[in-house]
Structure 1
Amino acid sequence: MKKTIPFLFATLFGFEQAQAQNSQPDTLRVIGLSEVVVSANRVQERKADIPQQIDVLRAAQIRLQNPMTTADALINTGQVFVQKSQFGGGSPVIRGFEANKILLVVDGVRMNNAIYRAGHLQNILSTDANVMDRIEVLSGAGSVLYGTDALGGVISILTKNPLLADSTSATQPRVHTNNLLRYGTAAKEKTAHTDISLGWEKFGSLTSITASDFDDLRKGRRPYKSFPSFGENLRYVERQDGKDVVVPNDNVNIQRQSGYRQLSVLQKFLYRPSATQQHTLNVQYSTTSDVPRYDRLQEYRNGNLRFAEWNYGPEKRFFASYQFQYSRPTRFFDMVRLTPAVQKVNESRLSRAFGNVNRDENLEEVKIGSLNLDLFKQIGKHELRYGAEATHNKVESTGRRVNIDTGASTGIATRYPNGSTYATQGVYASHNWEITPQLILSDGLRFSAVQLKANFNPEFFKSSLLNSDQESSSLNGNLGLVWMLPAGFRVSGLLSTGFRNPNLDDVSKTFEQNNGTLIVPNPNLKPEQIFYREAELSNTIEGKLHVAVTGFYSTLTDAIVVRPFTAPDGSTTTVYNGQNFTTVANTNANKARIYGVSGRFNAALFNHWSAQATATYTNGRVLSTDVPLDHIPPIYGRGAITYKDRKLTAEASMLFNGRKGVADYSPSGEDNLIQNTPVGALGWQTFNLRTTYQVTKGWSVQSGLENILDQSYRPFASGINAAGRNFYLAVRFEH
């Protein structure tokens, strides 16, 4: 370690001297409010005109960060908190909302489906960070443009497109390829990526493949003084000679049974017959190996490890969309975009108690069809965006108990009612009015309708709550104002309403929690409603400085929270898969509130240097019962200094999280207090260095040292310790 840090600082600063002798100084520019974004209004719009906080993570930033997964890319921004129950996980938290209260969108199509759960959700890992053009994070309610689920915000992921040739080289295709090999020490990570774009004047193709292999994750060796053994993996279970055996861990810092593998493939075809017309076929596929649920595998009962197996089975995501875009002024629109899409998602949960030869397997398959229509029309100083969306989900849920010795299989209770359907429809209109060049008004309305049909098979689940058929509708609106002041100052404000309709996971799921209770169905759930306020003061010197402070306040009505549950027949316990459980259920709390503040700073310092910083504080409480709300992280953020020259880019950064005491935890159990220290989540900070050096026009070498001090820590609500000191080395070839 004593030799490593001086070497990396020499890499960071020594190259500066070499570059200064061989090149002219460059001025590092800061991208400010002139940037164009698409997540706020579904079509391109200047960031300065939008009264809501939007953070953009561009391909160049993702490339410098060299993240293992998309979840890690979000962590490295310092603007999004991410929870992990296992190494193969990553559940973003925005404005105090998580999982199915945040909308994930890929290339304009919603990823959220009928079984997106309220706890912690790792589906964002099925997207490939190596083929992304940009990630846009819209913080705060986004229901007017996107419908249900966008209570906390929208994470809009845009993948790369094929590069077309210009008209002067129409006979020769434009060829562009990008290749990566990366190795990381903390998990013995091995990642290989390749993509190739072939483009003619009117037609282009992009093919991308990424494969990753992660071994068991090593946590930091430098413990907290007050809890020196916290997070140590003392023992684990192996199957030896047909028996489950508890094996002492020869290295307590290696979190045994946490590794996994992943494969992602993307294929795009782009056809542009004219300047006004474009057709895009977009096919994506991702799959994983079994992903060990680390927190469950380290769960003890009566002093013994409880499970011999607890894995998420291979998660497979198939996505296909066709997008037609036509841009030509007509009476009704200047641009129209139509996007039909289909998705198929397979996931499973595989668990087996220690010493038991029977493995319980719950397998889910979700088929989703969707259609998006988006139109844009400009009339003088008025911009009108309007459209419609429809989705339909069908869920096939299977439960079986398999004898691992004989292969014999019998049926058990399913996690969800088999054959359930979940459908949404919505129409929206959004309007911007440039009253003056300094004053911009925005407003919008959306009407949404949702239908859910679900019926449990009473053969396996004895309950009076077997049928869950629902229909609901919602009318939402927003009103925002942007005021450009002298000297680069800007004031913006937003009032917005939103909703999230209970999906199949909310209404009809059965699931054993970490604390030993059983979540049972509650067909009487109502939609959650939010009234969101946001105000921001910022100052921008274009290309040099951007600093902003944003305050937000949300009032959540009929908030869905997990609470003790009494069935209509008066029972508070139930028998499930042969065991008797105390029952809890998702219920509507009367009212909750979430408020907080975030700050961002981005400045070009001098010549090659720039600085960035961000911090977010959030507080949430259920007002009807006066208890903390779940999914509220402690204060978190990031600070960084970046150096960039023609051949070298280097960054020194710090990520930090504050402390969260036991009294601030929600009683629901969702925040996994049982997985943390007796005093709650401890604060932490990591120091990191990253460099990219352009060896030749096509070849570059990247290296980094993350968590330099090798701190052992576990982020709030997580079930696994984060990586210890991680040195990575990557080689890229781009042509």
Structure 2
Amino acid sequence: MKFLADMQKIVFIVVLLLFKGALGQEIVILDEEDHQPIPNVIVYNWDKSRTALSDFDGKCDLSKFDQGERITFTHIGYQNYRSTKSNVLRKGKLYLALTAEQLDEVVMSISKWEQQKKDIPQKISLMNAKTIEFTASQTSADLLQNSGKVFVQKSQLGGGSPMIRGFATNRLLLSVDGVRMNNAIFRGGNIQNVISIDPFTIKSTEVIFGPGSVIYGSDAIGGVMNFYTNNPQFSKTDSLQFFGKSNYRYSSANNENTVHVDFNLGKREWAFLSSLTYNNFGDLKMGTHGPSSYLRNNYVVTENGQDGLRENENTKKQVPTGYDQINLMQKVLFRPNSNWNINLSAYYSETSDYSRYDRLIRPSKDGLGLRSAEWNYGPQKWFMGNLQFYKNGKGKFYDGLKITTAYQNFVECRNDRDFGEDIRYSTKENVDAISANVDFENKRIGNLRLYYGGEYIFNKIGSTGNEYNIETMVTSPSASRYPDNSTWQTLAGYISGELKAKPNFTFLSGLRYSHVWIDAIFDQTFYSFPFNDADLSTGALTGSLGFSWFPKADLQLTFNGSTGFRAPNIDDVGKIFDSEPGSVVVPNPDLEPEYAYNLEVGIQKNFNDRLMLKGASFYTYLVDALVRRDFQFNGHGEIMYNGELHNVQAIQNAAKAYVYGFEFGLDAFLTESLSVNANLTLTEGIEEEQDGTDTPGRHVAPTFGDFHIVWKNQKLKTDLFANFNGEISSRDMAMSEITKDYIYAVDADGNPYSPSWYTLNFRSQYQLSNAFKLTANLENITDQRYRSYSSGIVAPGINLILGVGYTF
């Protein structure tokens, strides 16, 4: 019996040792930047006679390899790693770095389905979640600006209006998770709707440069900005999976305090993702070195019903510019089987009241004071409910099906009161937007892949106006900004194709027809309009044709020709507002769509995965351009508006325009840790009036770019970089900008102009542990005082950003 007991002990010890040995043969493979596990990493020896594969948790068993055997770890998108088995096991964890090669990236924006970026003839800028997190952007407008490829204008801190290739505002299209964000009151003036998108929830951002009307319809003339948010994650086991993250960030330039938290609950068939972000921004402080005309010397205070000027104790503080914002997101993902996914999402964003700073610094007519006592936007609210169905598999006419239905609600308010006046004028807009998209993918016709589908959008606009007497506290109705209960709708169908003519040559082409209807009835209570309604019905056919060619494996040439259009919306047809000092815009129901014709060529050269040079050149011609020009209202060139005589203007098909430019990029990978990247954009643009005279384009950005030196290892990433903008002289400024001389510096001849500027900046991110990540950035190190072209607010001075992230 004793002998049997001893044998049992020996067997137990042997099994235990074998078990320990097996455990000792396992390593975990992680992403070098975010320390997340990498599944499906292939491991093989020199002759590939033995292989292994990492699982969903990044774990890989190396027991089949000999102790001193040299093995290779490989995964698409990551650099290969070679070492001996014994060296790898001593570390216990292996970190893989992303590959320098970018031609195999996948994009969604061109067809709404996954495509290889190398097959796309248009320029596309991509930013993934890691890059977005590293930039520590306060808003999604800042996120676009930090890409180095998009210029952003700001009239106030709570804003950000992108400019792409000489176009902006309602000539660019915003999309969130495949749903069009542009609505029927997107205006030609600078807009701030992009700040409703929470940077903490963005999985990736894709910016298409040039027309995208074949897939996205009206407004996609200068480009398309697609934001894809995080999706819930299913559990890989039968048990409930729970994880999440939280972040805190502080910025010194505007005393920012931001908190964010999200968490994921997942089972095999159900998954839930909840997200909350709260921002508190104080008044923004400008830099020390720059034009003294940018300083905020005084501001308006109202005490006991009386307006007065107060000297600003800190002239670099832009009073008032601060505001608060909250963003919520909830997603529910259901996977009944391997072919179907159903995604129900809800998004909500709301700001506090925030001042329109450029209006608050306008001088009075005598130049001795300020014109406005109040000018602010009421809470900007955005809600979207989005229900999406995805089906993969072999249908009769498709291999993939997407059905996207969405409801959005937009709320905007404007409140303004002149200095010394008792009446505060207010308008409020409420837009209900319903949309439905059906998109198909067909991959079964040899080397031809087809994408086709349809879209319907309906917008209804509620618009009211009132006057409030601050002395008597009496409210009375006044003219609304837009025709109340007006509607805008569009119905469209499209087809596009991708033909792999040769392994190194890909054609892309597409056509779309869109029809747009406008129905608006004008209230004659406050103005005697020479018309009763606007009843527009117009259609547009757009197309594209391009190719991507690799004459050599390391050289890519692209060409793309495309058309785009923008149909008049309610803002064009029916708006009444004071566009600039002394002018008022009135409705004009006699409008037609504007069309853009675009050509683009591009080149990309890869030098041994160490150096990549990229360049693109474009030319866009816009006809029947919808522009604001002088107008006759009931036979008069001037009318009374808000108690003052104003010059009359209206949106008209009154010009042609052409824009051309060049875009350059560089990525150099000097070592595994050290890299350099840079971007440079040059744009020129002219508007041609009906009388043949030429004027500079309003939304043509100055030359701009950036230069980055990035160093990183497994725990630390740093980025020393410079941003720069060129000068726009007075003779190269649009007339509408010259009339806003109070936001510009003054040249030697006393004329307004936009000076050149630069900033030096430093970013760093340290992975303290698998759970904790620390951020320490110092922006505008030399404390420059500058105002970006066309912006009302002066940019931040020296700015310390501190952040901490915790993953649980």
Normalising to structure 2: TM-score of the pair? 0.86
* Residue in structure 2 matching 1:294, options 319, 344, 357: 357
SS at match of 1:73: helix
Q: Per the alignment, do residues 671 and 490 of structure 1 end up closer, same or farther by CA in structure 2, a change over 3 Å counting?
A: farther
Residue 670 of structure 1 deviates from its aligned partner by: 8.8
1: CA distance between counterparts of 2:120 and 2:566? 23
Residue 487 of structure 1 deviates from its aligned partner by: 4.2
Map 1:49-68; keep pairs closer than 5 Å: 49-68=119-138
Q: 8 Å contact 2:615–2:665 — kept in the other structure?
A: yes
Residue 29 of structure 1 deviates from its aligned partner by: 2.9
Q: 8 Å contact 2:248–2:260 — kept in the other structure?
A: yes
Q: 8 Å contact 2:334–2:342 — kept in the other structure?
A: yes
- The equivalent of 1:522 in structure 2 is 588
- The equivalent of 1:734 in structure 2 is 807
2: CA distance between counterparts of 1:670 and 1:72? 26
Q: Per the alignment, do residues 76 and 670 of structure 1 end up closer, same or farther by CA in structure 2, a change over 3 Å counting?
A: farther
Residue 458 of structure 1 deviates from its aligned partner by: 1.2
SS at match of 1:221: coil
- The equivalent of 2:545 in structure 1 is 479
1:280 partnered with 2:343: yes
2: CA distance between counterparts of 1:531 and 1:573? 36
Q: 8 Å contact 2:377–2:414 — kept in the other structure?
A: yes
Map 1:601-680; keep pairs closer than 5 Å: 601-623=666-688, 624-669=692-737, 672-679=740-747, 680=753
Residue 645 of structure 1 deviates from its aligned partner by: 1.1
User: C-alpha offsets along residues 58-106 of structure 1, whole Å, 9 cap, x if unaligned?
Assistant: 1101100001111111111110000000111100011111001000000
SS at match of 1:217: coil
1: CA distance between counterparts of 2:551 and 2:269? 44
Task: Give, as a single letter, the amino acid of the residue that structure 2 aligns with 1:112.
Answer: N
User: What RMSD in Å do the two structures reach over aligned CA positions?
Assistant: 1.6
Identity percentage of aligned residues: 38
* Residue in structure 1 matching 2:623, options 550, 557, 562: 557
Map 1:302-451; keep pairs closer than 5 Å: 302=366, 303-378=368-443, 379-451=445-517
Task: Give, as a single letter, the amino acid of the residue that structure 2 aligns with 1:642.
Answer: V
Residue 601 of structure 1 deviates from its aligned partner by: 1.3
Q: Per the alignment, do residues 54 and 138 of structure 1 end up closer, same or farther by CA in structure 2, a change over 3 Å counting?
A: same
1: CA distance between counterparts of 2:233 and 2:293? 50
Task: Give, as a single letter, the amino acid of the residue that structure 1 aligns with 2:344.
Answer: L
SS at match of 1:114: coil
- The equivalent of 1:34 in structure 2 is 104
Task: Give, as a single letter, the amino acid of the residue that structure 2 aligns with 1:412.
Answer: S
Q: 8 Å contact 2:730–2:738 — kept in the other structure?
A: no
- The equivalent of 1:177 in structure 2 is 244
- The equivalent of 2:664 in structure 1 is 599
- The equivalent of 2:777 in structure 1 is 704
Residue 241 of structure 1 deviates from its aligned partner by: 2.9
1:93 partnered with 2:156: no
Residue 176 of structure 1 deviates from its aligned partner by: 1.9
Residue 36 of structure 1 deviates from its aligned partner by: 0.3
User: C-alpha offsets along residues 578-637 of structure 1, whole Å, 9 cap, x if unaligned?
Assistant: 322111121213421110010111222202111111111111112342111210011011
1:492 partnered with 2:562: no
2: CA distance between counterparts of 1:215 and 1:331? 58
1: CA distance between counterparts of 2:496 and 2:378? 42
Task: Give, as a single letter, the amino acid of the residue that structure 1 aligns with 2:424.
Answer: R
Q: 8 Å contact 2:331–2:346 — kept in the other structure?
A: yes
Q: Which runs of 5+ in 1 are unaligned?
A: 1-21
1: CA distance between counterparts of 2:319 and 2:100? 43
1: CA distance between counterparts of 2:535 and 2:480? 18
- The equivalent of 2:113 in structure 1 is 43
1:271 partnered with 2:334: yes
Task: Give, as a single letter, the amino acid of the residue that structure 2 aligns with 1:720.
Answer: I
Residue 30 of structure 1 deviates from its aligned partner by: 2.5
* Residue in structure 2 matching 1:146, options 191, 207, 216: 216
1: CA distance between counterparts of 2:304 and 2:258? 34
Q: Per the alignment, do residues 465 and 305 of structure 1 end up closer, same or farther by CA in structure 2, a change over 3 Å counting?
A: farther
- The equivalent of 1:581 in structure 2 is 646
Q: Per the alignment, do residues 240 and 682 of structure 1 end up closer, same or farther by CA in structure 2, a change over 3 Å counting?
A: same
Task: Give, as a single letter, the amino acid of the residue that structure 2 aligns with 1:707.
Answer: N
1:188 partnered with 2:255: yes
User: C-alpha offsets along residues 116-165 of structure 1, whole Å, 9 cap, x if unaligned?
Assistant: 01110110000000110011000000000110000001000000001111
1:531 partnered with 2:597: yes
Q: 8 Å contact 1:281–1:323 — kept in the other structure?
A: yes
Residue 560 of structure 1 deviates from its aligned partner by: 1.4
1:261 partnered with 2:331: no
User: C-alpha offsets along residues 534-578 of structure 1, whole Å, 9 cap, x if unaligned?
Assistant: 0001113585443211000001000112211124x4311112233
* Residue in structure 1 matching 2:578, options 499, 503, 512: 512
- The equivalent of 1:124 in structure 2 is 194
SS at match of 1:230: helix
SS at match of 2:215: helix
SS at match of 2:144: helix
Q: 8 Å contact 1:535–1:550 — kept in the other structure?
A: yes
Q: 8 Å contact 2:673–2:713 — kept in the other structure?
A: yes
Task: Give, as a single letter, the amino acid of the residue that structure 2 aligns with 1:322.
Answer: L
Q: Per the alignment, do residues 480 and 542 of structure 1 end up closer, same or farther by CA in structure 2, a change over 3 Å counting?
A: farther
2: CA distance between counterparts of 1:670 and 1:100? 22
Residue 388 of structure 1 deviates from its aligned partner by: 0.5
Q: 8 Å contact 1:202–1:271 — kept in the other structure?
A: yes
Q: 8 Å contact 1:28–1:604 — kept in the other structure?
A: no
2: CA distance between counterparts of 1:369 and 1:433? 34
Larger Rg: 2
User: C-alpha offsets along residues 706-726 of structure 1, whole Å, 9 cap, x if unaligned?
Assistant: 111000000000001000000
Q: Which runs of 5+ in 2 are unaligned?
A: 1-90, 748-752
1: CA distance between counterparts of 2:95 and 2:457? 53
Q: 8 Å contact 1:630–1:670 — kept in the other structure?
A: no
Q: Per the alignment, do residues 671 and 501 of structure 1 end up closer, same or farther by CA in structure 2, a change over 3 Å counting?
A: farther
Residue 308 of structure 1 deviates from its aligned partner by: 1.3
- The equivalent of 2:64 in structure 1 is none
User: C-alpha offsets along residues 402-441 of structure 1, whole Å, 9 cap, x if unaligned?
Assistant: 1234432111111101111000111000001111101111
Q: Per the alignment, do residues 517 and 40 of structure 1 end up closer, same or farther by CA in structure 2, a change over 3 Å counting?
A: same
Q: 8 Å contact 1:35–1:46 — kept in the other structure?
A: yes
2: CA distance between counterparts of 1:269 and 1:593? 46
Q: How many residues align?
A: 706
SS at match of 1:144: helix
Q: 8 Å contact 2:626–2:655 — kept in the other structure?
A: no
- The equivalent of 1:12 in structure 2 is none
Residue 107 of structure 1 deviates from its aligned partner by: 0.3
Q: 8 Å contact 1:382–1:432 — kept in the other structure?
A: yes
- The equivalent of 2:278 in structure 1 is 211
Task: Give, as a single letter, the amino acid of the residue that structure 2 aligns with 1:651.
Answer: D
Task: Give, as a single letter, the amino acid of the residue that structure 2 aligns with 1:209.
Answer: L
SS at match of 2:294: coil
2: CA distance between counterparts of 1:313 and 1:542? 54
SS at match of 2:784: coil
1: CA distance between counterparts of 2:324 and 2:458? 31
1: CA distance between counterparts of 2:182 and 2:534? 20
SS at match of 1:606: coil
SS at match of 2:508: strand
- The equivalent of 2:792 in structure 1 is 719
1:230 partnered with 2:293: yes
2: CA distance between counterparts of 1:102 and 1:424? 17
- The equivalent of 1:10 in structure 2 is none
Higher relative contact order (CA 8 A, sep 6+): 1
SS at match of 2:308: strand
Q: 8 Å contact 1:27–1:608 — kept in the other structure?
A: no
